[in-house]
Amino acid sequence: MASEVLINVGAAETRVAFVLDGRLSELFLERNVDPGAVARGRHGHRLLGNIMLGRVQRVLPGMQAAFIDLGLEKAGFLAAREARCLADLPSFSEHQPCISKCVREGEAIVVQVIKDPISEKGARLSANVTLPGRLVVLVPNQSGVALSRRIEDEDERARLMKIVEDIAANDPRAAQGAGYIVRTAALSSTPEDIAADIARLGDEWRTIQARRNMAKIPATIYHDLDPVERTLRDGVDGETTRVLIDDADAFAQARAYAARAMPEALPKIELFKGPGELFDLYNIEAGIDSLLHPRVKLPSGGWITLETTEALTAIDVNSGSYTAATGLEETSLKTNLEAAAELGWQLRLRGLGGLIVIDFIHLNEPENIQKLLDVLTEAVARDRVPTQILPMSAFGLVEMTRKRVREPLAKLLTEVCDPCRGHGRVKTVVTVAGELMRRIEREAKAQPGKKLVAYAAPDVARWIEAQGEDLIANLRRRAAAGVRFESREDFERARFDVGAEA
């Protein structure tokens, strides 16, 4: 299947859209505004993958966990199983040590964020840090070589295992005593390519160790790659036909990273120059708006409704007006199969995780139930996030879990509507500000040389003003003639307007 990556770099945020056979399949966004929010780990800024030097705040043997002060709004959570590498245990031991054997209150500790802060929960942490490269992942606190489960060919597994073991044992550029996980991207790679990747990771790890020795607690001693480079590293593979980027600086950065780490991808990276806007391709903006609505239409006339609570996501399947001429069972089966196939897309796009309960339309025939489960399993097979599906219960419910790695898209872009008393959601100030920035850039291209004025609701205008000169300067660079903001008391939050200065 043809796969494309679209990277939209704006003044306020970077958005990455993965398109599969002409349809939006995954969406990620990272905001690059509000420096205070970065420190607190809020407003969409990603901490996942960062390596941090913190201090053990509390050790709770009853929970078999510790809380680590990282200088964020909430302390990070370190479970005993993620602190196991700190205990004095043989590497082959399966014993789960007590948390008090791993860490002590007040001590400094190096940890890695393995799950971003979500809602009221702090970041999830691991002391067994990893450093991802293009072809392999360095595991400094664990020896040995492991391979991705997606590498299925036994001959290729044996070849890669031998290559990495030989490099780890004999190449002086490799991190001493470290282990490695071979990524799927290493398939068919040459020993020279793998050795170069391992050497880069060895240099990076030695730099991190030096930073750790000089850092003042709390501190971030390693930042994962920024959204553009991270997308190339983790999202571009042999099936990717092209990578379109709409910003010249980001395009140059992507080319430089590819030349350094994945030269085979260089011909795929292109600078988008129009016509129109990058996300106009494949109607992506409308697709994003549709993800904020709970109902999704199905081809036959039915629909699915997705509702997320703190505990779980409930999904209901409804046949609507569709009726198969062959009877109720066929009507239910057709609608259910369409819903199962669609859910593979919706779960990825909406970033839904945790416990998910699906109320399919009742089926009587066991073979139809199995056919439904097979389609659902196939639909989530391309997901980068681990999922697990249970058999249908006696009540006709299917339970599944999807690892929760980020805030759901709706929660990132919207918030509870106070006047609605919690029964509705509205776009956040940050989301509206991002839309306004994109409108300004669009108008600047349409009216070159003209100074613009942007009218916005008071809370949006205040938020933009609070970001300081960095955001304004970045925006003025993109709208070369300049832009002035004006607050309008009669505007609702989501309303704004942009035009040429009179």
Least confident of 16-25, 88-97, 213-222, 422-431: 88-97
Cα 462 from Cα 222, distance rounded (Å)? 33
- Asked whether the beta carbons of 29 and 231 are under 8 A apart, the reply is no
What are the tens digits of pLDDT across the range 96-138?
789 999 999 999 999 999 988 876 788 999 999 999 999 999 9
The share of the chain scoring above pLDDT 90, in percent, equals 65
Average pLDDT, the chain: 89
Signed CA dihedral, 409, 415, 417, 422: sign only: positive
The predicted structure's pLDDT at residue 70: 94
C-alpha 485: how far from chain center: 32
The confidence score (pLDDT) of residue 37 equals 43
Choose the weakest-confidence range: 196-210, 293-307, 321-335, 444-458.
Answer: 321-335
Range with lowest mean pLDDT among 112-126, 215-229, 323-337, 395-409: 323-337
Question: Is residue 221 classed as helix, strand or coil in its secondary structure?
Answer: strand
pLDDT digits (tens, 9 = 90+) for 43-72: 445 788 999 999 999 999 999 999 999 998
Query: Residue 107: its pLDDT value, please?
Result: 95
Q: Is a pLDDT exceeding 90 seen at residue 489?
A: yes
Least trusted range by pLDDT, from 254-258, 326-330, 461-465: 326-330
User: Within 13 Å and on the Cβ side, how many CA atoms surround 63?
Assistant: 9
Query: For residues 18 and 473, which has the higher predicted lDDT (pLDDT)?
Result: 18
Cite the beta strand spans of 292-424 per DSSP E: 295-297, 303-308, 313-318, 354-359, 387-389, 397-402, 414-416
State percent of the chain over pLDDT 70.
Answer: 93
Least confident among 383-397, 413-427, 449-463: 413-427
Question: 3-class SS at 473?
Answer: helix
User: CA angle, corner 390, sides to 384 and 391, nearest 5?
Assistant: 135
**For 341-368, b where at least 16 C-beta lie within 10 A, e where not — what string?**
ebbbbbbbbbbbbbebebbbbebeeeeb
Fill in the amino acid letter for 431.
T
Query: How high is the pLDDT of residue 232?
Result: 95
The partner residues of 306 in beta bridges, in order of sequence, read 315
Average pLDDT of the residues in 177-200? 93
Whether the pTM exceeds 0.75: the reply is yes
Compute the average pLDDT of residues 426-450: 90
Confirm if 92 and 86 have CB atoms less than 8 A apart. no
